[in-house]
Amino acid sequence: MAKRAVMILCMISAGLCLQAQNTNQLAVLESSLASGIDPTVEPLITGKIEEAFVASGIFFVLDRVNVDRVLEEKEFQLSSGLVRDEEIRQAGEYLSADYVVLATVSRVGQTYAMTGKLIDVTTGGITAQASSESSGKIDVLLDLATELGQKLVAEFGMLTGIEVPESSKMKPGLLYRHSLLAGAVFGESSGDDYFPLSLAYYFRINSLLGVTAGLRYDLLISNTFFADVGGFISPLPWLGIGVRVGYGWVPTSTNDEYGSTLVLVPNALVRIGRLAVNGEFGISMDAFFVGGNVGLNF
C-alpha cells in the first residue's frame, strides 16, 4: 500500500514538473483556407504548425481532438472569410489556453501564401505574426506550415526573452527564396582577364527544387560574354547544387579570334543566413573558366 502511494506521489510530481516547464498552454485552431484550396490538406497544415510549437519545448500544446471537441460542445465556429482577432481570443478562453494560433491560407495563380497569428488570450493582443509564401503544387503548403510555425516560435522567443532550443530553430536559408550574387572569374583558358563581371541568380521553387541563371561579361571587351540558365536541387536547406546551359562569345583556343560557343556550367550555392556564396565551373569546346560570387539571400 505504501509503495502504491509513493508511486502515485511520484507521478503527480512528474506531472507538476512537466506543467511547470510548459507554462504557456497553446491551442492551434483549424486553419482557414481560401475558396478553391483542397480542404483535405487542412489537418496536415495544422499538424505541421503544431509540430513546430511542440518541438520548441516552451509550450504545452493542446491535442487537436480535444480542441475540436471543446469548441463543438460550446457550439463555437469561426466566421467565414476574414477571422477577427476577438473570435480567436474567445476560442482560447473556451479552451483555457494562454495562447491561440490560427493560420490563413490563400492562393494567387500558382503562388500560395500563409499567414499566422499568435494571440494572447488574456490581453487579446497579437503576440507574434508571420507569413510565408511559395510557388508550386499544393504540397508546398506543408513546407510553408513548418516555416510559419518556426517563425512564430522564433518571434515569441525574441519578444519574451525565452531561449528557443537549437533543434527547433529555423535552418539557415530555409526561408529565403531568392539569392542574387556578384563576383568575378578566377581563371580561364586563354589566360586573358575577360569576364571581370560575373552575376548569378537562384530562385527556390520549393524546399527541394529551384531555377538559376548566370551572366559573365567583360566590361572592356564588349563582345566577350556567357549567359546561361538551368536548375538546382537543395538536398540540405543551406545547399543548392545545379547545372546551367548557355551560350557565349569568347576568345577561341588560339586566342587570336572570337567565336560563339555553347557552355555547360556546374554550380553550387551555399546559404549562411543572409549571406550567399556560389562557385561554378564553365566548360565548352573553346574555353573554360572557374568563378565565384558572393551576395545576399532574400
Give SS3 for 120: strand
When pLDDT is averaged across residues 242-271 and rounded to a whole number, the result is 81
For residue 228, what pLDDT is reported?
95
d(CA 128, CA 200): 35
**Residue 45's pLDDT band (boundaries 50, 70, 90)?**
very high
**Res. 20: pLDDT tops 60:** no
Stretch (H or E) spanning 135: strand 126-135
The answer to the question of residue 15 being in a domain is: no
pLDDT band at 195 (very low <50, low <70, confident <90, very high): low
**Mean per-residue pLDDT over the chain, rounded:** 80
Task: Please check whether residues 104 and 163 belong to one and the same domain.
Answer: yes
Tally of residues, the chain: 298
For position 276, what pLDDT does the model report?
Answer: 92
For residues 67 and 146, membership in a common domain is answered with yes
The 8-class DSSP code of residue 168 comes to G
Domain that holds residue 194: 178-297
First to last CA, the chain: 64
Find out whether 281 and 290 touch, Cβ atoms under 8 Å.
Answer: yes
Residue that is last in its domain, among 168, 192, 221: 168
**CATH number of the structural domain spanning residue 113:** 3.40.50.10070
In a domain? residue 6: no
Least confident segment among 1-15, 186-200, 204-218 = 1-15
Pick the last residue of a domain from 116, 144, 168: 168
The confidence score (pLDDT) of residue 221 equals 66
When divided into structural domains, the chain yields a total of 2
Please check the confidence at residue 254 and state whether its pLDDT lies above 90: no
- Which of 30, 21, 102, 95 lies closest to 54 in space, CA to CA? 21
Tens digit of each residue's pLDDT (9 = 90 or more) over 198-245: 899 999 886 678 999 999 887 776 667 889 999 999 887 778 999 999
Query: 169: pLDDT confidence band, cut at 50, 70 and 90?
Result: low
Q: In terms of domains, do 144 and 192 share one?
A: no
Assigned domain for 4 exists: no
To the question of pTM greater than 0.75 for the whole model, the response is: no
pLDDT of 18 > 60? The answer is no
Instruction: Please tell me the predicted confidence (pLDDT) of residue 11.
Output: 42
Indicate whether 280 pLDDT > 90.
Answer: yes
**Residue 66 shares a structural domain with residue 109:** yes
Answer with the one of 122, 150, 168 that is the final residue of a domain: 168
- Nearest CA to 150 among 171, 119, 133? 171
85-89, 115-119, 139-143, 261-265: least confidently modelled range? 85-89
Whether 43 shows a pLDDT value over 90: the answer reads yes
Q: What is the mean pLDDT of residues 89-108?
A: 90
Same-domain status, 135 and 30 = yes
* pLDDT greater than 60 at residue 148: yes
How far does Cα 116 stand from its chain's mean position? Answer: 14
The pLDDT of residue 166 is 60
Same domain, 67 and 142: yes
Q: Is residue 11 part of a domain?
A: no
Whether the Cβ atoms of residue 156 and residue 125 lie closer than 8 Å to each other: no
Residue 22 has pLDDT above 90, yes or no: no
31 with 156, same domain: the answer is yes
Is 287 within the bounds of a domain? yes
Please determine, for residue 5, whether its predicted confidence score (pLDDT) is greater than 50: no
Instruction: Give me the numbers of helices (H) and strands (E) for the chain, helices first please.
Output: 5, 14
Greatest Cα pair distance, the chain, in angstroms, is 99
- Is position 136 within any domain? yes
Residue 253 pLDDT grade (very low, low, confident, very high; cuts 50, 70, 90): low
